[in-house]
């Protein structure tokens, strides 16, 4: 077998056992990666009956056939499960870093994990061996500290972890890896927490078998060159130029010109005059170094240490989605505050998108008189109150006081408060939207409506529309209208979404 390893592990946390199965029969029908994950989820559990935190829920982790090879940006890794945050239950989240390739190096395509460990546990995978190790000493600790402990304990390994938010079943708890990367959305961290599974540590020393290694390397190098070539195409060169220096926050102004950046809980959109610190200052002055996922020439991630007596912190990121959610949507323009909030979310193991949307929604509820400070235990959450957000974030991550209720996420809190409150929650299928103002971009609106988990820019980002290049639009869909963000041309927009959904399904 080439590309894939041909092996998956079915792990039962309740019993502390695992079986090894052949993945080869699946590859006659599916390429692997996300598609295989979803098929396995439907086969391994009753998705109509099982609830997100039931031990019968299954988490499938999978790497695609290119993972672990020299192909650029091929280190993506997919998790699939019944999710607590979107009411569709569609748990679908994806990450870069190097954990996917490491799984392949250890000789596995896929892990299917079910049951509930009797006590806090982490999985240690070293090539063919899978061990169930006690995580009693890690439970309650933040992601940063646990990452350091596990890297020291298992030198040369890759680590996937949840933080206190996952342990406390915060519905928007994420799964972290590689210090700068998150499986951010739909609440996978809480599903791991419900299984007493603190993390997975992987160490592999095998390679990935390639049919024609020389030809493959030649094509990999060509693709890498193209991605960095300013003459290759506007989309790629622009993305590379901006993202490799400023990360995804560097795209804010570009997409803001089209009206796509949401501001003040989606009441406004476009360019926010006060976002200079969030957009330019972070990439230019704060990032200590750029970081890349496995084999990715774009290296869009950054790491920072903020020296400040009040807000001092260190972490990875922030991404555009983070600066938009905690900055633009909440009208918090101060980079120190946003960097502190980002570091807290990362260490507690929480999705910054849902956290930012939660605060923006609370701010609007305050403004409209739907809630008052009794609801937030004395914290008056007016627009731009970053300090109030910091106080609440700690409570949410640790499940303390009103934080327990807020950890349900804005849609579920709004539902309890009633119709009037729910009006101000900007969500799709119960999960809040990413930083894309879909009323400005008709293709994205259609894509988010069709995606079973709501907004999902990793399952079909219609970039031909974002950059509005007629030649690209015609080439990909046959219609110039597909590239016009304001056009409602039904066939053009349908073909646009279809093209990018198919493209993004490739592993
Ligand atoms: S470094 Fe950035 S562009 Fe490259 S794979 Fe990771 S997230 Fe994607």
User: What is the third-level CATH fold of 234-425?
Assistant: 1.10.569
User: Rounded to an integer, what distance in angstroms lies between the CA atom of residue 332 and that of residue 389?
Assistant: 10
What is the longest distance spanned by two Cα atoms in the chain?
Answer: 66
At residue 234, the pLDDT reads 60
Residue nearest to atom 6 of ligand 1 (CA): 293
Of the candidates 395, 50, 325, which has an alpha carbon nearest to the alpha carbon of residue 191? 50
Q: Give nearest CA residue, ligand 1 atom 2.
A: 300
- Give rounded-to-5 percent helix, strand, coil for the chain: 40, 15, 40
The pLDDT value recorded for residue 80 is 97
Pick the more confident residue, 288 or 93: 93
pLDDT exceeds 60 at position 507: no
pLDDT digits (tens, 9 = 90+) for 326-363: 999 999 999 999 999 999 999 999 999 999 999 999 99
* pLDDT tens sequence across 438-469: 888 899 999 999 998 888 888 888 888 877 77
Portions of the chain given CATH number 1.10.569.10: 234-425
134 alpha carbon – ligand 1 mean position (Å): 32
Cβ of residue 73 lying under 6 Å from some atom of ligand 1: yes
**DSSP H or E run through 200:** strand 197-203
Delimit the CATH 3.60.9.10 region(s) of the chain.
7-203
Ligand 1 atom closest to the CA of 96, numbered from 1:
6
472-485 pLDDT tens trace: 889 889 999 998 88
Alpha carbon 274 to chain centroid, angstroms: 26
Ligand 1 site, residue 135, Cβ cutoff 6 A:
no
Cα distance between residue 424 and residue 101, in whole Å: 41
For every residue of 315-378, DSSP letters joined together read EE---HHHIIIIIITTT---HHHHHHHHHHHHHHTB-HHHHHHHHHHHHHHHHTTS--TTTTTT
Q: What is the pLDDT of residues 143-167, one digit of tens each?
A: 999 999 999 999 999 999 999 999 9
**300 CA closest ligand 1 atom index:** 2
Mean residue pLDDT across the chain: 93
Q: How far is CA 454 from CA 43, 321, 407, 451, in A?
A: 23, 15, 19, 5
Ligand 1 pocket member 242 (CB < 6 A): no
Mean pLDDT of 380-404: 97
CATH 3.60.9.10 fits 7-203, yes or no: yes
Ligand 1 centroid–CA 457 distance in Å is: 13
> What's the pLDDT tens digit per position in 262-314?
999 999 999 999 998 888 877 777 877 788 999 998 888 989 999 999 999 99
CA of 292 to the centre of ligand 1 (A): 6
Ligand 1: does its nearest atom lie under 6 Å from the Cβ of 98?
no
- What ipTM is given for this predicted complex? 0.99
Task: Look at ligand 1, atom 4, and give the residue with the nearest C-alpha.
Answer: 296
Q: CB of 227 closer than 6 A to ligand 1?
A: no
- pLDDT on residue 506: 65
317: phi > 0 → left, psi -120 to 50 → alpha, else beta; which? left
* Residue 339 in contact with ligand 1 by CB distance below 6 A: no
């Amino acid at each position: 077998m080439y590309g894939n390893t041909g092996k998956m592990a079915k792990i039962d946390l309740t019993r502390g056992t695992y079986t090894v199965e052949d993945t080869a029969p699946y590859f006659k029908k599916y390429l692997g990666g996300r598609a295989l994950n979803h098929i396995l989820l439907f086969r391994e559990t009753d998705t109509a009956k099982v609830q997100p935190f039931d031990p019968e829920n299954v988490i499938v982790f999978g790497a695609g056939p290119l993972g672990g090879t020299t192909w650029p940006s091929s280190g993506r890794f997919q998790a699939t499960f019944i999710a607590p945050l979107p009411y569709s239950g569609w748990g679908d989240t994806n990450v870069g870093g190097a954990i996917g390739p490491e799984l392949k190096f250890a000789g596995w395509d896929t892990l299917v994990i079910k049951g509930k460990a009797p006590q806090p546990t982490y999985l240690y995978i070293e090539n063919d061996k899978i061990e169930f190790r006690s995580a009693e000493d890690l439970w309650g600790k933040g992601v940063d500290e646990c990452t350091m402990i596990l890297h020291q304990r298992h030198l040369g390994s890759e680590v996937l972890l949840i933080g206190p938010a996952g342990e406390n079943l915060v519905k928007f708890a994420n799964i972290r890896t590689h210090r700068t990367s998150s499986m951010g959305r739909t609440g996978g961290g809480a599903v791991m927490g419900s299984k007493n599974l603190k993390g997975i540590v992987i160490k592999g020393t095998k390679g990935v078998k390639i049919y024609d290694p020389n030809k493959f390397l030649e094509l990999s190098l060509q693709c890498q060159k193209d991605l960095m070539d300013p003459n290759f195409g506007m989309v790629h060169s622009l993305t590379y130029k901006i993202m490799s220096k400023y990360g995804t926050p560097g795209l804010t102004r570009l997409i803001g010109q089209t009206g796509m950046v949401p501001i003040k809980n989606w009441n406004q959109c476009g360019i926010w005059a006060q976002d200079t610190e969030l957009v330019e200052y972070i990439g230019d002055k704060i990032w200590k170094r750029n970081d890349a996922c496995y084999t990715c020439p774009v290296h869009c991630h950054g790491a920072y240490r903020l020296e400040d007596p009040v807000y001092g912190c260190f972490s990875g990121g922030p991404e555009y989605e983070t600066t938009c959610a905690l900055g633009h949507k909440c009208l918090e323009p101060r980079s120190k505050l946003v960097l502190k909030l980002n570091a807290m979310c990362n260490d507690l193991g929480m999705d910054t998108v849902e956290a930012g949307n939660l605060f923006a929604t609370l701010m609007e509820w305050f403004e409209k008189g739907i809630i008052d400070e009794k609801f937030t235990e004395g914290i008056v959450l007016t627009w731009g109150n970053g300090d109030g957000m910091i106080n609440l974030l700690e409570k949410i991550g640790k499940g303390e006081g009103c934080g327990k209720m807020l950890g349900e996420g804005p849609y579920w809190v709004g539902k309890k408060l009633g119709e009037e409150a729910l009006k101000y929650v900007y969500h799709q299928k119960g999960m809040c939207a990413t930083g894309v103002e879909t009323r400005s971009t008709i293709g994205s609106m259609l894509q988010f409506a069709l995606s079973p988990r709501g907004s999902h820019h990793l399952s079909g980002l219609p970039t031909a529309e974002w950059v509005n290049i007629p030649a690209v639009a015609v080439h990909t869909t046959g219609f110039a209208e597909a590239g016009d963000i304001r056009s409602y041309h039904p066939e053009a927009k349908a073909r646009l979404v279809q093209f990018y959904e198919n493209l993004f399904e490739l592993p």
